[in-house]
C-alpha cells in the first residue's frame, strides 16, 4: 500500500470514487444493446486482485454498496458468483461486517403529538445504513453469496407530514443505491407514494448547489418514472445540468448516469 497522509476516511472516500469510476466503465461497456455478450470481461477466475485488492478498496466497495452492481441491474445482465464485484463485495462484508444496530426507539408518547414523518437524525442515519446493507446483501445474494445483515424491520420509512419533505428527501438521497431496477422494499413504496416530496427535495438540493444530493433524489424519481409514477420535475434537463455543474465526483456521475438510464427506460 502506498504511503499516504490520508486518514482512513479519506482513503475510503477515494476508493469509493475509484469504485464509482469502475461501475461507470462497466456500465459503458455493457451498454445495454446486447447485455449478455458483455459479461465475459468482468468474470474473473482468479483471486479478486483486480477489484478489492486493498482494505481501502474493500471499504470503497462497502461505501458504494448495491451501486457496484448498478451496471448489471440496469442492463439486465445476469448476476453470478464469479463476478469480480460479487467476490469483492463478499470479501468487503467479511472485512467490514454490518453493525448490529438497535431498532429506533419510538418517540416518547405524548397524547396528541403528531408522529414524526421520518425518524430523528441519529435514527435516520442508522436506518439508512441498515437499508443500504440490506440492498447490497440482497444483490450479493442474487449473485450466490449469502452474507448476514440485520433485518430492516423497524426501519420502515414513515412518510406523511407534508412539512417534513426536506428531511425525508435527504434521507431518501442517502438511500439512492436502492434506486435500482429489480430491488423493492418499503423504501421503494414510500418513494412511489411521494413523488412531489422527492421533487421538492431534488429542487431544493439543486438550488443549494448540493448537486450530489439532487442527483441521488432524482434517481428515485427516475425509477418511479420507469415504473409509471410521473415526476413533477423534468428529469432529463435536471440530470444534464448536474452532469455539467455537479463537479468532478465519479460517485455523482454514477448517480447521474443511473438516473439517466432509468429515465430513458420510461414507463
Contacts of 189 (CB under 8 A, 6+ apart): none
Q: Which of 144, 230, 234, 247 binds another protein (CB under 8 A)?
A: 234
Task: Assign 3-class secondary structure to 31-73.
Answer: CCCCHHHHCHHHECCCCCCCCCCCHHHHHHHHHHHHHHHHHHH
207 near another protein, rule: CB under 8 A: yes
Only one of the segments 52-60, 117-125, 140-148, 197-205 lies at the binding site for another protein (rule: CB under 8 A); that segment is 197-205
Quick check: 87 and 52 in contact, CB under 8 A? yes
Quick check: 101 and 68 in contact, CB under 8 A? no
Only one of the segments 62-70, 118-126, 151-159, 195-203 lies at the binding site for another protein (rule: CB under 8 A); that segment is 195-203
214 near another protein, rule: CB under 8 A: yes
203 near another protein, rule: CB under 8 A: yes
CB of 200 to another protein, least distance (A): 5
Q: What are phi and psi of 43, to 5 degrees?
A: -100, 130
Quick check: 90 and 140 in contact, CB under 8 A? yes
33 near another protein, rule: CB under 8 A: no
215 near another protein, rule: CB under 8 A: no
Q: Which of 46, 112, 237, 267 binds another protein (CB under 8 A)?
A: 237
241 near another protein, rule: CB under 8 A: yes
CB of 21 to another protein, least distance (A): 27
208 near another protein, rule: CB under 8 A: yes
The rounded distance, in Å, linking the Cα atoms of 159 and 148 is 28
Q: How many residues does the chain have?
A: 267
Binding site for another protein (CB under 8 A): 163, 165-166, 196, 199-200, 202-204, 206-208, 214, 232-234, 237-238, 241
Amino acid at each position: 500500500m502506498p504511503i499516504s497522509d490520508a486518514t482512513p476516511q479519506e482513503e475510503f472516500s477515494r476508493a469509493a470514487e475509484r469504485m464509482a469510476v469502475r461501475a461507470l466503465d462497466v456500465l459503458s461497456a455493457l451498454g445495454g444493446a446486447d447485455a449478455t455478450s458483455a459479461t465475459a470481461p468482468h468474470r474473473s477466475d482468479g483471486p479478486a486482485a483486480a477489484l478489492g485488492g486493498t482494505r481501502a478498496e474493500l471499504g470503497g466497495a462497502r461505501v458504494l454498496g448495491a451501486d457496484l452492481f448498478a451496471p448489471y441491474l440496469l442492463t439486465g445482465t445476469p448476476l453470478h458468483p464469479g463476478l469480480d464485484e460479487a467476490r469483492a463485495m463478499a470479501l468487503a462484508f467479511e472485512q467490514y461486517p454490518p453493525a448490529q444496530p438497535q431498532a429506533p426507539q419510538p418517540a416518547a408518547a405524548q397524547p396528541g403529538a403528531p408522529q414524526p414523518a421520518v425518524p430523528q437524525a441519529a435514527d435516520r442515519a442508522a436506518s439508512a445504513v441498515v437499508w443500504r446493507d440490506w440492498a447490497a446483501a440482497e444483490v450479493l445474494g442474487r449473485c450466490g453469496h449469502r452474507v448476514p445483515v440485520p433485518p430492516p424491520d423497524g426501519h420502515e420509512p414513515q412518510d406523511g407530514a407534508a412539512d417534513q419533505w426536506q428531511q425525508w428527501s435527504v434521507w431518501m438521497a442517502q438511500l439512492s443505491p436502492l434506486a435500482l431496477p429489480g430491488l423493492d422494499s418499503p423504501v421503494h413504496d414510500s418513494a412511489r407514494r411521494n413523488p412531489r416530496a422527492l421533487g421538492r427535495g431534488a429542487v431544493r438540493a439543486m438550488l443549494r448547489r448540493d448537486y450530489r444530493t439532487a442527483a441521488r433524489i432524482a434517481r428515485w424519481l427516475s425509477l418511479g418514472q420507469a415504473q409509471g409514477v410521473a415526476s413533477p420535475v423534468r428529469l432529463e434537463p435536471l440530470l444534464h445540468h448536474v452532469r455539467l455543474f455537479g463537479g468532478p465526483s465519479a460517485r455523482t456521475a454514477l448517480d447521474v448516469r443511473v438516473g439517466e438510464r432509468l429515465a430513458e427506460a420510461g414507463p
